[in-house]
């Protein structure tokens, strides 16, 4: 019995010593208060860029209003064509038969009108018979015109001189009304198309000239279309700008970017943000850890690490796309500073 009591007492003493050691090891080391200086936020003074796509100003997607079989495609991709050149022929045997029938009806109606007119000259017909003959003639003429119009849709011709960009059908294919058959682009004028946010559109207007970069080339383009209403999902409007300088060497379908001026802001940071301008911070205030970039903020006497989405460098400053508010106090030169460390702002 005594031996059991001795062993229990020894176990209790050893557990107390272990707990004391754990408490000593877990005690945090207090961080020393650091003296820091603040860096200033400023609105971005540089222009931004908008991604755009280059295309010919004159382009068309050719289709037919008829359901028919493709008899022959006369062109292929990359082929230059003149205005009025035949591009696609569709089967028209049934329409040709319909035209012959319409021509026969027209001839019969014309004969009937002449016969009634001769009888009317001899007072052998009534005015009602003559009126009916003229109505039948007009109906026959309209029927022939309708067939001829439908025949026109079986012969697709180039609406303007250009280059065949896409051929979507082959000989023998069956096509339906509205089905795209060919895509044609004109030669000469070219334009950029893209989208802009409401803030970017505030600094733009029709007729304004913007600089562009496209596949290593530079030039200028004039705004010909600007819709600021915005898509309900993306909240962006459309932008269209025709190239006025630097057209040589550009190709349709290429990518580029247009330089748009920053929207004018007010005197303060909040006004700049409301006008769509980015904020900038000193490059010396940035904290880089791997692919992450951030800054330390002075908040309630402590340093708080905030990760940011950065834009392009602007001299000794860097634009901030997201993660920073105008009221945030940025710590400049935060070398050695830790998140949550007590700080004192130098006066």
Query: Does residue 177 form part of some domain?
Result: yes
pLDDT tops 80 at residue 285: yes
pLDDT, average across residues 302-311: 87
- Same domain, residue pair 108 and 142: yes
Domain containing 318 — which CATH number? 2.40.420.20
Q: Higher model confidence: residue 48 or residue 240? A: 240
Give phi and psi for 252, each to the nearest 5.
-65, 140
Position 23 in a domain: no
DSSP for 208-265 reads -EEEEEETTEEEEEEEEEEE-S--TTT-EEEEEEEEEE--TT--TT-EEEEEEPPPP-
Q: Are residues 213 and 325 in the same domain?
A: no
pLDDT of residue 278: 64
**Any idea what the CATH number is for the domain that residue 69 is in?**
2.40.50.100
Are residues 175 and 214 located together in one domain of the fold? Answer: no
Number of domains in the chain: 4
**What span, in angstroms and rounded, lies between the C-alpha atoms of 330 and 333?**
10
Radius of gyration in angstroms for the set of CA atoms belonging to the chain, rounded to a whole number: 40
Between 32 and 47, name the one with better pLDDT.
32
309 & 334 share domain: yes
pLDDT at 84: 92
Q: What is the pLDDT of residues 191-223, one digit of tens each?
A: 999 888 777 787 788 999 999 988 888 899 999
Residue 96: pLDDT above 90? Answer: no
Contact 159, 35 (CB under 8 A): no
Same domain, residue pair 202 and 315: no
Q: Which of 239, 260, 281 is where one domain is finished?
A: 260
Domain membership of residue 20 (yes or no) is no
The secondary structure of residue 202, as a DSSP letter, is T
Q: Does 110 lie in the same domain as 227?
A: no
Which helix (DSSP H) or strand (DSSP E) does residue 179 occupy? none
- Residues 274 and 307 occupy one common structural domain: yes
Q: Considering only CA atoms, which of 159, 241, 139, 226 is closest in space to residue 193?
A: 241
Share the mean pLDDT of the chain. Answer: 82
Pairwise CA distance, residues 193 & 202, whole Å: 18
pLDDT attached to residue 237: 82
Read off the pLDDT band of 29 (50, 70, 90).
low
Q: Read off the DSSP letter of residue 139.
A: H
Assessment of whether the complete model's pTM goes beyond 0.85: no
Per-residue pLDDT tens for 141-185? 999 999 998 888 889 999 999 999 999 999 999 999 999 999 999
Phi-psi region of 300 (alpha: psi -120 to 50; beta: other; left: phi over 0): left
The CA distances from residue 62 to 70, 167, 184, in Å, are: 14, 10, 8
266 — pLDDT class (breaks 50, 70, 90): very low
On whether both 81 and 106 belong to a single domain, the answer is no
Residue 139's pLDDT band, with cuts at 50, 70 and 90, is very high
CA distance 85 to 32: 84
CB 113 within 8 A of CB 89: no
**8 Å CB contact between 203 and 263:** yes
The reply to whether 248 and 284 lie within a common domain is no
For residue 125, the enclosing domain spans 92-153
Asked if the model's pLDDT at residue 282 lies above 60, the reply is: yes
Q: Phi and psi for 64 in degrees, rounded to 5?
A: -125, 160
pLDDT band for position 1 (50/70/90)?
very low
């Amino acid at each position: 019995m005594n031996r059991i009591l001795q062993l229990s007492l020894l176990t209790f003493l050893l557990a107390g010593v272990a707990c004391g050691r754990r408490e000593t090891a877990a005690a945090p080391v207090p961080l020393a208060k650091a003296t820091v200086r603040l860096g200033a936020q400023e609105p971005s003074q540089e222009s931004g860029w908008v991604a755009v796509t280059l295309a010919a100003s004159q382009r068309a997607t050719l289709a037919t209003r008829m359901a028919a079989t493709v008899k022959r495609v006369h062109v292929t991709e990359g082929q230059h064509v003149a205005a009025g050149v035949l591009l696609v022929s569709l089967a028209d045997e049934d329409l040709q038969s319909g035209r012959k029938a319409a021509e026969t009806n027209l001839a019969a109606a014309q004969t009937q009108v002449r016969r009634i007119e001769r009888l009317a000259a001899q007072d052998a017909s009534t005015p009602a018979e003559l009126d009916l003959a003229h109505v039948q003639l007009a109906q026959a003429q309209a029927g022939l015109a309708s067939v001829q119009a439908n025949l026109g849709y079986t012969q697709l011709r180039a609406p303007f001189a250009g280059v065949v960009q896409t051929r979507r059908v082959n000989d023998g294919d069956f096509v339906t009304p509205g089905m795209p058959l060919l895509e044609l682009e004109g030669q000469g004028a070219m334009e950029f198309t893209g989208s802009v946010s409401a803030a970017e559109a505030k600094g733009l207007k029709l007729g304004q000239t913007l600089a562009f970069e496209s596949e290593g080339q530079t030039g200028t383009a004039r705004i010909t279309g600007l819709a600021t209403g915005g898509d309900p999902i993306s909240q962006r409007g459309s932008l269209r700008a025709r190239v006025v300088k630097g057209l040589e060497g550009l190709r349709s379908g290429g990518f580029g970017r247009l330089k748009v001026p920053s929207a004018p802001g007010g005197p303060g940071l909040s006004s700049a943000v409301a006008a769509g301008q980015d904020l900038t911070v000193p490059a010396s205030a940035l904290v880089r850890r791997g692919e992450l970039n951030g800054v330390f903020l002075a908040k309630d006497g402590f340093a708080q690490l905030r990760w940011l989405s950065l834009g392009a460098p602007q001299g000794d400053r860097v634009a901030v796309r997201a993660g920073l508010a105008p009221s945030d106090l940025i710590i400049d030169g935060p070398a050695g500073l830790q998140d949550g460390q007590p700080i004192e702002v130098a006066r």
